[in-house]
């Protein structure tokens, strides 16, 4: 016996239909969720790519500057290279914090409403 009802989700409730997904995607609440994500992720991504490319270009074309010793055997290239790692971890931590406080509550509200059939 075949039914047209969507299969149940992990919680046991039926999955939303294609039309329900389309309606949520067109909603102002979902648009706000996307805007929150994009307004955070895109500028940080562009900024990090510029920072990375600056490091690569300096390494290739400003060897004398990058080789400048700051103290002992520590030079500008080493400090900037370690700065790449530091900014990677900082951006990941900052995004995680942003997602937990700004994105996850909005996404959970949308998910709960869809799974609850509201």
What is the domain extent for residue 63? 45-116
Which helix (H) or strand (E) is 74 found in, with range?
strand 74-75
Position 69 in a domain: yes
Domain count, the chain: 1
Residues above pLDDT 90, as percent of the chain: 69
How many other C-beta atoms lie within 10 A of the C-beta of residue 16? 19
Position 30 in a domain: no
Confirm whether pTM is higher than 0.95: no
Position 54 in a domain: yes
User: Residue 8: pLDDT above 60?
Assistant: no
The encoded tokens of residue 72 equal: 């002992």
Tell me the pLDDT band of 11, cut-offs 50, 70 and 90. low
Position 57 in a domain: yes
Position 53 in a domain: yes
User: Residue 87: pLDDT above 70?
Assistant: yes
The SS3 assignment for 70 reads strand
Position 22 in a domain: no
User: Residue 101: pLDDT above 90?
Assistant: yes
Q: Judging by beta carbons within 10 Å of its beta carbon (0-12, 13-18, 19+), is residue 111 exposed, middle or buried?
A: middle
Position 87 in a domain: yes
């Amino acid at each position: 016996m075949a039914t047209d009802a969507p299969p149940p989700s992990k919680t046991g409730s039926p999955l939303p239909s294609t039309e329900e997904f389309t309606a949520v995607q067109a909603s102002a609440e979902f648009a706000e969720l996307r805007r929150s994500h994009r307004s955070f992720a895109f500028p940080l991504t562009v900024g990090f790519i510029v920072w990375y490319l600056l490091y690569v270009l300096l390494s290739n074309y400003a060897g004398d500057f990058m080789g400048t010793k700051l103290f002992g055997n520590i030079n500008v290239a080493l400090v900037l290279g370690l700065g790449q790692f530091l900014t990677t971890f900082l951006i990941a931590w900052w995004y995680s914090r942003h997602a937990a406080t700004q994105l996850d509550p909005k996404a959970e509200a949308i998910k709960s409403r869809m799974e609850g059939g509201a």
